[in-house]
Chain A
Amino acid sequence: MGNNDTSRLGAGPLGRRTVLALAATAFGMALGSAAAQAQTLTVWSGYPEMVPFYQRVGESLKGKYPGLQVKVEAIPLREHEKRLALALPSNSAADVIELANSTAQRYIEAGLIKTAPADAAAFVNNAAYFDPFIQKTAAVGGKVYGVPLFRGQGALFYNTDKFAKAGLAEPPKTLADYTEYAKKLTERNAQGVATVSGWSMRLSGGGAGIAEKFWINLFQNGGNLIEEQADGKWATTYASEAGRKTLRQYIDNVHVHKVVTPEMPADADAFQREQTAMFIRESWVIGDIAQKAPNLKFSTALLPRGTIVAPVFFYSPNEGDKARLAWDFAIAANSPENAVWLLDNVGWLPNRKDVDYSAVVAKKPAFKAFVNYPKDYAFFTLPAIAPVEEVLTRLAARLTKAFGDASLAGNDAGIDAVLKEAAAETDTILRRAGLLASK
């Protein structure tokens, strides 16, 4: 009783606000779109470096929406994904949200992300604009939900000065080369402790990233973390020969060759400060280096077998007129000018294939390893299944522990045990979601 009273009290002012908002909307519509002067579009992003791009896309829409205000709220990716979990079910998310299709899957299944209108769907399905792979990932159950934004694609970044100093002219070709190179590239102090890592591997930090990077290496060895089966369900496939080889290389590099340790500065940050000689990362690093370390001498190279492609899409929690501006925005982001600007200034890879990027690639040859690749170069992507995050996060926690475990050096039985236990956990998660393929 008291309970209900209080809740009604709490809801009172809000109810009034909603009514006012509705009235205002109705009034706005009555005046017609000509008077829609000060429209605001809110974009939620998990990539702070995308902010200037969105502002630019907003500018390019000024012809159609003269008073358009684009409000971008960018926070770290993990927190971005969390706020979507909090906000989407209560219908309080932004007009446009930016999300990997694998993460969006769950919300699409629950009807919290709405289908794209006919024109946006036609745009996405235009074979002249996008690859079938992108078109497939934009849709669920044959319906288009997302408009492509960019794709994350991995390649090797290496410091050419450090390579020259170590007498290495060419980038490594096989994963075994990577270790040999790393041994030569590691710089050590008088006590023999590594001060510059030969190959910065993702060893620490919470979250799915560690498992994702592990998958990239595993893929070079011909393996995958999980694979879709004929019945549309999934099998855990990393407790295998390829898995052992991959984990062993990590452990050997940390504990035997000591070319990298968990506490060394890592990733793009370390690469820019010349604290690591090479690492595998997506193309945005090129834009980041241009900003933070413009004098760094570096190049990029294809990975031995192939790489990860993680497409990110625009989605909208709204439909109908309310979402009109959002979809116009998403389509405008894919205009040839904006696509070229994105590649040139941010460094994430746009997906439009009918656009000429050669000027940017000529100016920044590091993009070659991302846009020019041989026919047999293989790609994989994160599976679009609801529990993908949990699978990766839990595997990542086990991997972090294994990377720090010196007793696994030269201990294949131990490595197998780690993988087997982790795979059993992955199976459990898949089974709970009804996604585990029967063996």
Chain B
Amino acid sequence: MSEGLRPTRRQIIVGRLIDAGLILFCLAMLLPLVLLVSNAFKTPPDILRWPPAILPRDPTLDNMRAVLADTPLLRWMWNSVLFALLSTAAILTTSAVTGYVLAKFRSRVLNVVFAIILATAIVPFEVYMIPLFFNVQKLGLLNSTAGLLVGYLVMSFGIFLIRQNVIASIPDELLEAARVDGAGEWWIFWRIVVPLLRGPLGALGVLAFFQAWTAFAWPLIVTTTKESYTVEVGLALFQTGFTVDLGRLSAAATVVLVPTIIVFSLLRRNFVQGVATSGLKD
């Protein structure tokens, strides 16, 4: 607000205070994750110690080793990654094409289509999950990545996001100029529209990826064999049934968490910028 002016002494102090408050709050937000990772390296007596400590007394890799030996954790992670990547690809494709068409072509039919897409966005997935399950069952796709994907092929918010972006950032004149030059519609879409949508598509990609990565209720019913579990389902069943051994549970959780955190930290800028340019205010 007062950029350009030299901040007063008071402003500096207030800024420092806000920083202090935010740092404390952020640390509190991160604390559960830190504790979890720390527990993964604690020995059994260390975990039972009262009061609980933040850091392990003598760090051990036993929990990690035991978990990797006892469960197909890496397989579950691979299932999740594959599912999330394919889901992201499907959502990006359908959102880009549909969002663009709905933004740049005017017709009453298309308005109805857009209304339907928006309306289904309000219906929670859980509402129609059971019929969708029977649908997948009939196709014989249970326990497969394809079966998992069925629930995650499209994202109404994604179509909305792309449509708003196209309206906000791609002028009609640009497209008309290309048409005058004799460019085909598909050429325009691939060569002009998609490159201009790189930002929002990146953001949507991150959203879609993590949406599939953290999916729970759907994979819980679509997968029934150990090999086909996603990491969320595998861990949830592991924790309710096999062991109350906190060290091992934490180790398993850590194996899953750390890559997530790294990937997100790398993609954060992309994500924030994408959302920031998404023109959500409409």
Task: Answer whether A and B touch in the complex at a CB cut-off of 8 Å.
Answer: yes
- Assembled-state Cα–Cα distance A87/B244 (Å): 28
Q: Does A10 lie within 8 Å of B142, measured CB to CB?
A: no
Q: Does A11 lie within 8 Å of B139, measured CB to CB?
A: yes
For residue B27, CB closer than 8 A to chain A, the reply is: no
For residue B226, CB closer than 8 A to chain A, the reply is: yes
Chain A residue, CB-CB nearest to B241: A76
Q: Does B141 lie within 8 Å of A79, measured CB to CB?
A: no
Which residues of B in the span 207-235 have a Cβ within 8 Å of any Cβ on A?
A: 221, 224-226
From A13, A89, A269, contact of B137 by CB (8 A): A89
Contacts A10-B141, A14-B140; A86 near B241 (Cβ below 8 A)? no
Chain A residue, CB-CB nearest to B153: A6
- Residue numbers in A under 8 Å from B224 (CB-CB): 83, 86-87, 92-93
- Assembled-state Cα–Cα distance A403/B111 (Å): 57
- Residue numbers in A under 8 Å from B138 (CB-CB): 90
Interface residues of A (CB under 8 A from B): 7, 10-11, 13-14, 18, 42, 48, 73-77, 79, 83, 86-87, 89-90, 92-94, 269
- Assembled-state Cα–Cα distance A86/B147 (Å): 14
Among B143, B146, B237, max chain A CB count under 10 A is at B237
Among B137, B142, B225, B244, max chain A CB count under 10 A is at B225
Interface residues of B (CB under 8 A from A): 133, 137-144, 146, 150, 221, 224-226, 237, 240-242, 244
Q: Smallest CB–CB gap between A287 and chain B, Å?
A: 16
- Interface majority SS on A: helix, strand, loop or mixed? helix
From B133, B150, B221, B241, contact of A75 by CB (8 A): B241
From A11, A18, A73, A86, contact of B142 by CB (8 A): A86
- Residue numbers in A under 8 Å from B226 (CB-CB): 73
Chain A residue, CB-CB nearest to B240: A76
From A10, A48, A73, A74, contact of B150 by CB (8 A): A10
- Residue numbers in B under 8 Å from A75 (CB-CB): 237, 241
- Assembled-state Cα–Cα distance A145/B242 (Å): 29
- Residue numbers in A under 8 Å from B133 (CB-CB): 86
Q: Smallest CB–CB gap between B184 and chain A, Å?
A: 24
Q: Does A90 lie within 8 Å of B140, measured CB to CB?
A: yes
Other A-B pairs beyond A11-B141, A14-B141, A73-B226, 20, CB < 8 Å: A7-B139, A10-B146, A18-B140, A42-B225, A48-B241, A73-B225, A74-B241, A75-B241, A76-B237, A79-B237, A83-B224, A86-B137, A86-B142, A86-B221, A86-B224, A87-B142, A87-B224, A92-B140, A94-B225, A269-B244
- Residue numbers in B under 8 Å from A73 (CB-CB): 225-226
- Assembled-state Cα–Cα distance A91/B224 (Å): 12
- Residue numbers in A under 8 Å from B142 (CB-CB): 86-87, 90, 92
Chain B residue, CB-CB nearest to A79: B237
Q: List 21 A-B contacts (CB under 8 A).
A: A7-B139, A10-B150, A13-B146, A14-B139, A14-B140, A14-B141, A42-B225, A73-B226, A74-B241, A75-B237, A75-B241, A76-B241, A77-B241, A79-B237, A79-B241, A86-B133, A86-B142, A86-B221, A87-B224, A90-B140, A93-B224
Q: Smallest CB–CB gap between A195 and chain B, Å?
A: 14
- Assembled-state Cα–Cα distance A312/B225 (Å): 21
